[in-house]
Amino acid sequence: MCPNRNWVSSFEKLDGCFIVMGDDHPCHKEGIGTVLVKMFDGMVWELKDVRYVPKLKNNLISVGALDLKVSMRDEVLKIVKGSTVVLKGV
């Protein structure tokens, strides 16, 4: 989910759609589209089916929806895509 409409391409407007936040507060979902994310190593990821929710304060990415392997060992988070380590840190 993304609150910045300028980041969402291939935008498809949605009417009457809401999501319910963790505090049971409903937020209007105004559309859906694609967002390009530039990683620390310069690689660009294309995230599809990103929901545009203008009232969000931050972007939200569901790690479970990505094709990634996530592990935590000795307080170190490691995220791997295929054979490439995407993120490793505390």
Residue 3: per-residue pLDDT: 94
Closest by CA position to 1, among listed 76, 67, 44, 62: 62
Q: Give the model's pLDDT for residue 31.
A: 95
pLDDT at 86 (0 to 100): 62
Domain-by-domain residue ranges, the chain? 1-59, 62-90
pTM above 0.95, yes or no: no
C-alpha to C-alpha distance for 67 and 54, rounded to whole angstroms? 26
- For residue range 39-90, what is the model confidence (pLDDT) as tens digits? 777 878 888 999 999 999 899 888 777 777 888 888 887 778 777 766 666 5
Alpha-carbon distance of 83 to 90, in angstroms, equals: 20
Tokens representing residue 32 in the block: 């859906």
